[in-house]
Structure 1
Amino acid sequence: MDIPFTRKMQWPEVASGRFGSLIRTDSHEGCKIALIGAPDDTGVALNHGITGAALGPDAFRVALTRYGTSQPEGWDWPGVYDAGDVIAGSTLTETHNRLTHATGELLDAGLFPIMIGGGHDLTFPFVRALAKRHDTLSGIYFDAHLDVRAEEGSGMPFRRLVEDCAASRLDAIGISPFANSREHMHWFHSHGGRIDALEPHGEWPGENLFVSFDLDVLDASAAPGVSARNPMGWSVHHACDWVLAAGKCPRVRCFDIMELCPPQDEGGRTARIAAHLLLTFLRGFAARPAGSHA
């Protein structure tokens, strides 16, 4: 499958017992999942953050090759197609437009898109492709920050999804009260946003859901390789409860893992966590009822 403004990825030779050996790059036939890399951190720079997340997709792929394929009886890993990386444009808007187009191609091919980034602003164009194909849209995101700034940058995706894509409901989970302004908190609540109002195994409202995972929701002691470290974040175990539930939910239509910043990552720990989160999501996805994968 040829998608304009994307770069095909070449995976290294991986032993058959490793998960990387299951990734397809030649064809999406027989696959249910499509990985798309978003190697851009222009939005982080615009917000005067620590850059380096443009290297996130490559580090993620390396980490993923190191995991095995052991699995319980009674289920199989869903087929995964690596659609490559979106090539950044000369402006943030151009990059966003390219990502929306690439994601739309994957959706139209019947694939479930999973994005690895990259600045969190890229969630906006990623989910915009979904919004163009559904009348209603709701979202759940795991993040220390609300990301509802008015100005362009990595801190604006969810405001844009409300204003430009008519997202009817946002649930933010893991928000740090010391990492957000009163102005942003007021905007979020005034537009119907809710904070920590869901449970991983409870009922998630909405027919067409996007789920976004910013790695800075994790505690810095476990995940130092992010654009903004969190001194009071989640444990990986807690995060996996949520991600497994997202994978299982048949109304979740896309998923992303964002803000992986390899220059900040001591020993590649955060990249390995990101890869573990993907595998956790896929484990949940495999448990979805037949016919509910798209």
Structure 2
Amino acid sequence: MNLALFFDPLPETLTAATPAPTTLAAYATRFTENFPDWRNADLALIGLDEWRGSAAGSPQAGHHGANEVRQRFYQLQKGTGSVRFVDLGNLRPGLTLEDTYQRLREIIGALLEENTVPLLIGGSHDLDYGQFLAYESQDRAISFAVVDARPDMAEPGPGTPPEDSHLRRLLVHEPNFVFSLAHLGHQQYLTPPEVLVALEKLHFETMSVGEVRADRRLAEPLIRQAEFMSVDIAALRWQDAPGYYPANPFGLGNEEATQLCWYAGHNEQLSSFGLYGYRADQDPHGLAAATVATMLWYFVEGFYHRRPETGFGTFRFLTYTVVLPGNPDKLVFYKSRRADKWWMEVERLGDNAVKRVVPCTYEDYLNASQGDLPQRWIRLQALLG
């Protein structure tokens, strides 16, 4: 597949200067005259400037969000280890918004086939629908995570911008290939109660902004189960990321945001990552661009610290079996010997041939030790059924 047909090269202002040898710019192969060899890359950056799905419309002319993020990202220091990173340039939008979704589907699908992780920067959050469609051809149920100030579950129709209804569209897509969803960072005062009730009935997990800020470590197992993740920077408080509209004084801080990105990068099964919603015309001092660039840096750094955890039940894991008084009569937990990570074995009641080993927390193990079924087990049981 000739991906070069879909992209514009980076402007000379981003690539003219000789990069300092220790910065990411010195290790990235960027699309200027020749299109990068994406098939042999670990990570591929894609800039987006598609805003037809946004109620606020396109940013003012001359404000390309992905380029503003790049300007700061490439000045950051390379982390540890080798880096195989390409920048494919900026995606050319399709004739219609639906065409752009389909372009993303094809491009991300091609990257996934080569085990190259796409990093999507810019554009409105509804573009994660194209990111989602790329997984349809995998012919299996997938899990994903969304970070946003509210679950975008509005009823689609005339007058409803796609960025307000894209999550609903993902969940009702036919054929349905969603196994689980984790929604992180919602703000109660922005979220209709019936939306949370609907997600609960679907047995999906949510964490409010307060819960994430109280203990962001509890978000790690939810992200560890995801195969793709999308982040709307509107989930961050405006003081830390003044690059979206309308402004919101509450939300995640930049510390929580970068930690979530580290978790995503470190998740060995997560195969695509999107940072959406940054509007350069709302960011006169470049603070939000620097925040998004740093979030991206943490994802990349987390990626190069991946250590695949396989072989449950082998010497690589400690195995804990908890005996319970009812049905099920036991639960099996695994803890990595290398990291403070826990997993739980979930069998479908009445059919132990249907089994999954899923990420969990130490608290889930403690609850089971006290005779209480973890809520995560109950949710997964419903999904397996």
Q: Under a length normalisation based on structure 1, what TM-score does the superposition of the two structures give?
A: 0.87
Cα contact 2:123–2:277 (8 A) shared by 1: yes
Q: More relative contact order in 1 or in 2 (CA 8 Å, sep 6+)?
A: 1
- Provide closer, same or farther for how the CA distance between residues 38 and 241 of structure 1 changes in structure 2, counting only shifts above 3 A: same
Are 1:257 and 2:262 matched, yes or no? no
Q: 2:107 is aligned with what amino acid? A: A
Structure 2 residue runs of 5 or longer lacking an equivalent are 31-35, 311-385
Q: Is 1:43 matched with 2:53?
A: yes
Residue type matched to 1:57 in 2?
Answer: A
Q: 2:168 corresponds to which residue? A: 159
State the distance in 1 between where 2:177 and 2:51 align.
Answer: 25
SS for the counterpart of 1:114 is: strand
Secondary structure of residue in 2 paired with 1:34: strand
Matched, 1:235 2:253: yes
Deviates more, 1:13-22 or 1:195-204: 195-204
- How do residues 43-82 of structure 1 correspond to structure 2 at under 5 angstroms? 43-44=53-54, 48-49=55-56, 51-52=58-59, 55-69=64-78, 71=79, 75-82=80-87
Q: Which digits, 9 at most, give the CA deviation of each residue in 1:163-203, with x for residues without a partner?
A: 11532221111101122234433433333332218853643
Residue aligned with 1:146, SS: coil
Q: Deviations over 1:204-227 (max 9, x none)?
A: 388652111111111111111013
Shift of the 205–114 alpha-carbon distance from structure 1 to 2, 3 Å rule, reads closer
Q: Which moved more, 1:9-18 or 1:89-98?
A: 9-18
Spell out, residue by residue over 1:267-286, the C-alpha distance to the aligned partner (whole angstroms, 9 max, x if none).
01111111101110111111
Post-superposition shift, 1:20? 1.8
Q: Choose from 92, 108, 112 the match for 1:107.
A: 112
**Which has the larger displacement, 167-176 or 77-86?**
77-86
Residues 217/160 of structure 1: CA separation in 2 closer, same or farther (3 Å cut): same
Once residues 222 and 184 of structure 2 are traced to their aligned partners in structure 1, the CA distance between those partners, rounded to angstroms, is: 12
Give the conservation status (yes or no) of the 8 Å contact 1:127–1:254.
no
- Equivalent positions of 1:131-280 (< 5 A) are 131-151=136-156, 153-164=162-173, 165-196=176-207, 199-200=216-217, 202-204=220-222, 209-280=227-298
CA contact (8 A) 1:56 1:261 kept: yes
Q: Over alpha carbons, which structure has the higher Rg?
A: 2
Q: 1:67-118 CA deviation, whole Å, 9 max, x = no partner?
A: 222x4xxx41531111222211221111111111111121122201111121
Provide, for residues 131-178 of structure 1, a one-character-per-residue CA deviation record: whole Å limited to 9, x for no partner: 322501111111102012232511222212211153222111110112
1:126 to 128, 131, 143: 131
User: RMSD over aligned Cα, in angstroms?
Assistant: 2.5
How many angstroms apart in 2 are the aligned matches of 1:265 and 1:134?
41
Amino acid at match of 2:188: P
| 5+ residue gaps, structure 1 | none
Equivalent pairs counted in the alignment come to 285
Higher strand share: 2
Preserved contact between residue 137 and residue 206 of structure 1 (Cα < 8 Å) = no
CA contact (8 A) 2:144 2:225 kept: no
Give the SS at the match of 2:140. Answer: coil
Alignment check: 8 A CA contact 1:162 1:168 kept:
no
Contact 2:145 2:223 in 1 (8 A): no
Paired with 1:78 and 1:251, the residues of 2 have a C-alpha distance of: 19
SS in 1 for 2:138: coil
Aligned ranges 1:2-17 → 2 under 5 Å: 2-3=2-3, 4-10=5-11, 11-12=14-15, 13=17, 14-17=19-22
Match of 1:27 in 2: 37
Deviates more, 1:197-206 or 1:160-169: 197-206
d(CA) in 1 for partners of 2:136 and 2:121? 19
